[in-house]
Structure 1
Amino acid sequence: MEEIYVRTLTVTLEEDGRSVKDILRARGFSRRLLTKLKLSDGICLDGAKIRVTAPAYEGQKITVTEPGQTAPEPNPLLDVPVLYEDGDVIVFDKPADMPVHESINHRGDTLANFFACRCKGLTFRTVNRLDRDTAGCVCVAKTRYAANALAGSISKVYCGLIPLTKLSGGRVCAPIARERESVILRCVRADGKYSATCWQVIERRKDSVLCRFLLETGRTHQIRVHMAHIGLPLIGDEMYGGDTSNRKGQALMCSEVSFISPESGKRITVFSERKL
């Protein structure tokens, strides 16, 4: 299945006389996307194909048609709650044990397959990505333009369960590197990349503690690695030494995402409805 997405922009008084390229760049279209649009004749001015260096005037319509791409096969048997949706973005409340993207071991059972069914004809572009066992908010851009615009504005909050502790929170600043013998595992190592995680206790339970996490950097497995590093691995996280006696798979979720809507220019905040 191929994506066909058309966006129509009206030239404003402030943009009067500027080139189509400059107008689109100012509106968030990347150079890379503009190059692809030019090669596919995907830019028109008042219905006519034009050079992007041509001037546009107040009231004229710039029409952008994004190039098509092959999408995963839709799976109508899947069901994932939608937390928010507009013309540019959709936010899903992903369950644990569902991969975001297809892989050799997962075909047809991923969020990408549900998206292909829910948003027929659109390319699956995640703005944030979660591990298979991490539940919660996944923000997906409906167009390449929206993906570019959202990339710099999104912020995330995570929640997770750790073992009982008297600590109330803290900041872990420790470099993260790939384990030399593993493609997946990460570790704290002096030659790793700078990484920082802030955490705060929000609820103490009988056998665990619920924490809130804010990431200053975005390394693979960052929360899991940092909490294991300070001796408080996430409950259920077998990969990094967590207690799996009552839970399989890390007790972690993206509880909140916030971003600037490309459609309205307003900040949107979306909360997961799942509980740990």
Structure 2
Amino acid sequence: MVSSQPERLDRWLANQLSDFSRSRIQKLIEQNCVVVNAQPCTTKKATLQAGDFVQVYLPASQPLELLPEAMPLDILYEDDHLLILNKPADMVVHPAAGHATGTLVNAVLAYCGDTLAGIGGVQRPGIVHRLDKDTTGAIMIAKTDLAHQRLQAQLKAKTAGREYLAIAYGAPKAEQGTINLPIGRHPVERKKQAILPEEKGGRVAITHWQVYERLGNYTLFQFRLETGRTHQIRVHSAHIGHPIVGDPLYGAGRSIGVNLPGQALHAWKLRLKHPISGEDLEAIAPLPPTFTKLLTVLRRRAAG
């Protein structure tokens, strides 16, 4: 029973159903799953009046077409609400064309089984953010709808932090800086992103960087993301003249004597508040062997 002042339907439901995100609630409204005074309501902008009676029906979760695949997982943190993994190179996070199997989603399904919530109405792992196929490091998976909602809210509010390490070509004159340039789909090469004005479809993208270690004509950078656009660090780093070593799309294509699986970019640290307890958490993903080997080679060159 609604007893408050007039209020928009989706906003009122978001306050009543704290375990559901606003987008999930809006989808339920669109699916005729919300009934107001015995009449299905299909518009999220409907206004509720004092005394209105609201019912919400939850549809059965959609069947999952993906098959669980048992694969080794490097677990950095786990409890009943949250899983943080150290993703290896050459692993796609979500299934896509050409990568229907062998993804992180398949692996998490096999590991978590029926403990995963039906996030978004679909029985699938609640991966909160993505990493590129050959980018290694820490990635969050929510085990419940509430945890997923709160973790995404932290990323949006910038209260959760993501720090990366990358080895790039060149030696910047400054020790630190910020790149604030919008990123969008490359107008010609569809597999790439590019610096693109917002009026042409670019979206705000902000990357903070600092020199972690100088290696002669190479640099070990530490990057901190303020936004999370596709290929953001790779595009921004290349744009300022320091493409990441091994990057097949934005790199310089020069040989460095170390066989890399892809770009030398590693999601090093995740800082967040636990979605349920509010406890401060920090997950640190150890550097992969190829990254460590490249650092050793470059340190020797710089010293010699």
- Give 1 or 2: higher helix fraction: 2
- 1:9 is matched with none
1:226-262 per-position Cα deviation (integer Å, ceiling 9, x unaligned): 1111111000012113345233411111111122222
Q: CA deviation at 1:107?
A: 2.7
- 1:259 is matched with 272
Task: Name whichever of 220-229 and 253-262 sits farther off.
Answer: 253-262
Matches within 5 A, 1:68-217: 68-71=61-64, 72-76=66-70, 78-121=71-114, 122=116, 123-153=124-154, 154-167=160-173, 168-190=175-197, 191=200, 192-205=202-215, 208-217=218-227
1:97-156 per-position Cα deviation (integer Å, ceiling 9, x unaligned): 100011231232111111011100222121110010100011011122221111011321
Aligned CA-pair RMSD: 2.9
The 8 Å contact of residues 33 and 144 in structure 1, kept in 2 or not, is answered as: no
The count of residues paired between Structure 1 and Structure 2 equals 236
Rounded Cα–Cα distance in structure 2 between residues aligned with 1:116 and 1:272: 22
Q: 1:166 to 1:225 in 2, by over 3 A?
A: closer
Rounded Cα–Cα distance in structure 1 between residues aligned with 2:15 and 2:182: 41
1:23-74 per-position Cα deviation (integer Å, ceiling 9, x unaligned): 754x45334545759959xxxxxxxxxxx969xxxxxxxxxx9953434211
1:175-211 per-position Cα deviation (integer Å, ceiling 9, x unaligned): 2222112332111133433322111111223663211
Calculate percent identity across the aligned residue pairs. Answer: 33
Q: Which runs of 5+ in 2 are unaligned?
A: 1-11, 35-52, 117-123, 155-159, 292-304
- What TM-score, normalized by structure 2, do the two folds share? 0.68
Rounded Cα–Cα distance in structure 2 between residues aligned with 1:115 and 1:101: 11
- 2:21 is matched with 30
- 1:230 is matched with 240
Q: Secondary structure at the match of 2:234?
A: helix
Q: Secondary structure at the match of 1:210?
A: strand
Q: Secondary structure at the match of 1:152?
A: helix
